[in-house]
Amino acid sequence: MLINYIKIAWKVLLRHPFYTFITLFGISLTLTVLMVLTSFLDHLIGSHYPETKRDRSLYIMQMLQTDSSRSSRSMGPMSFKFLTDYAKSLKTPERVTLCTFINSSNAYVGSQKIKLNTKFTDADFWQVTDFEFLEGKPYNEQNIANSDYVAVITDDFKNHYFGNTTESVIGKDVEIENIHYKVIGVVKGSPVTRPFTYADVYFPYTTPKSNYQRSGFRGGYVAILLAKNKSDLKAIQDEFQNHINRIPLPGNQDGFKYSVLEVKSDPYLENFIGTLLDGGPGLRTIFFGVIGFIMFMLMGLPAINLVNINVSRIMERASEIGIRKAFGAPVKALVWQFIVENIFITFIGGAIALVLTFIIIQLINNSGWIAYADLTININVFIISILVCLIFGLLSGVLPALRMSKLNIAEALKA
């Protein structure tokens, strides 16, 4: 029976090519927007290069200090010393890395200035992340202990600084901010949308201008806590919070007297949403609620237009419906037939949308709008796309099918 419904739907599509074009254009355009949006969200919050262990990582990004009247507050990254005392000392994580966010620097090739994003890290940074080394290797604890002037650079910076050469640049010198560093590694770059790992050049934190010696609580460093297993995340959070709770209050930070101090270790999504929404309970629910509402509106409005088109299409087949009813076809079977037909058409539009989405994300990846962008249609995006197609098909097909079911035989045969 299902095969027959699909054959009928195919014949109906071939009967009016222009109408079919309009229908598929609306469906595929709507679904393309939704799939590109889904792919972008997956790019932002999913576990991708070089942060492929996000599912078992916790992020410490900022400290919030509030005065006793809660009328003023100070918020930002922490000092290297603070994170060493309260995060690096944790026993439960498999590994903890400390690094800075992006710092701006300049390098020169002849008279040409190259604007750089640099990052200071410890040696564990290369174990917590999964950077692909195209040449050389990362710096290690010995390089850091010796305060070696070494650097790991990205392939993109290599091409800018040394020219598009295929020769190895390991051991060569780069001059950044009038300081000479020896290149010991070349990695494939991280997308700019991953602030914990994105940079053009990576330095050991013991090299100049890292400010790792700062003694206060606040500074320019963040931390990633890597758990052995996902099940350890709660234990790590509890252990870290116990460390924070032992900090005596009230305190004084650069003249600012605070009585409340908050530092959280959150999974990436909560950390990401907390930054956008300024913290608070139920952030995951709020975030996905807003995203769900936007996607529903993106689907709902085109679905309403498609409902009107489907009603017209079904009314054209009123005589067919009347004849089938006259021969005893139950209303339930007719409703089911039109819903299946609509879902079939929607999935054709979904297949077209998949192709369009693939083309669009390739254009985005190659355009340079997002440095090192790696938008993909992976299994998660594909499954969500299939669900979206199914929901879209049901939204636009149920109402016309129910309206058709109310036609009596006489009215249907007169149409």
Look at residue 241 in the predicted model and tell me its pLDDT: 96
CB 364 within 8 A of CB 373: yes
Q: In 10 A of CB 332, how many CB atoms?
A: 9
Choose the weakest-confidence range: 9-18, 165-174, 311-320: 311-320
Return the residue matching tokens 């195919």: 10
pLDDT band at 359 (very low <50, low <70, confident <90, very high): very high
Of 15-24, 224-233, 297-306, 368-377, the one with minimum mean pLDDT is 297-306
Q: Mean of the pLDDT values across residues 361-384?
A: 82
Q: Average pLDDT, stretch 120-141?
A: 97
DSSP H or E stretch at residue 99: strand 95-100
Q: Sort strands 103-109 and 179-187 into parallel, antiparallel or unpaired.
A: unpaired
Asked if pLDDT for residue 373 goes beyond 90, the answer is no
User: pLDDT class for 379, splitting at 50, 70, 90?
Assistant: confident
pLDDT per residue over 229-269, tens digit each?
Answer: 999 999 999 999 999 999 998 888 778 888 999 999 999 98
Question: Who has greater pLDDT, 298 or 366?
Answer: 366
Give residue 413's pLDDT band: very low, low, confident or very high (50, 70, 90): low
Neighbours of 181 (CB within 10 A): 21
Using the predicted structure, report yes or no on whether residue 146 has a pLDDT greater than 60.
yes
**By the 8 A CB rule, do 99 and 127 touch?**
no
Region 173-178: mean pLDDT is 93
Is the pLDDT at 118 greater than 90? The verdict is yes
Distance CA 83, CA 30 (A): 46
Count of alpha carbons within 13 Å of 216, Cβ hemisphere only?
Answer: 15
- Quote the pLDDT of residue 143: 96
For residue 138, is pLDDT > 60?
yes
> Which residue, 74, 24, 77, is CA-closest to 302?
24
The pLDDT of residue 233 is 96
pTM of the model: 0.82
**Dist. CA 65–CA 74, nearest whole Å:** 5
Helix (H, G, I), strand (E, B) or coil at 377: coil
For residue range 58-78, what is the model confidence (pLDDT) as tens digits?
Answer: 999 999 999 878 788 888 999
Q: Tell me, what's the pLDDT at 302?
A: 67
The H-or-E segment that residue 204 falls in is strand 201-204
- The pLDDT value recorded for residue 24 is 84
Q: Which of 198-207, 269-278, 376-385 has the lowest mean pLDDT?
A: 269-278
pLDDT of residue 57: 97
| Rounded distance between C-alpha atoms, residue 108 and residue 124, angstroms | 30
Question: Helix axis angle, 331-367 relative to 283-316, nearest 10°?
Answer: 120
| Confidence check: pLDDT of 396 > 60 | yes
Placement of tokens 């010198």 in the chain: 173
Q: What phi-psi label fits residue 134: left (phi over 0), alpha (psi between -120 and 50 degrees) or beta?
A: alpha
**First vs last C-alpha separation in the chain:** 26
Asked if the model's pLDDT at residue 296 lies above 80, the reply is no
Unique residue bearing structure tokens 């595929």: 28
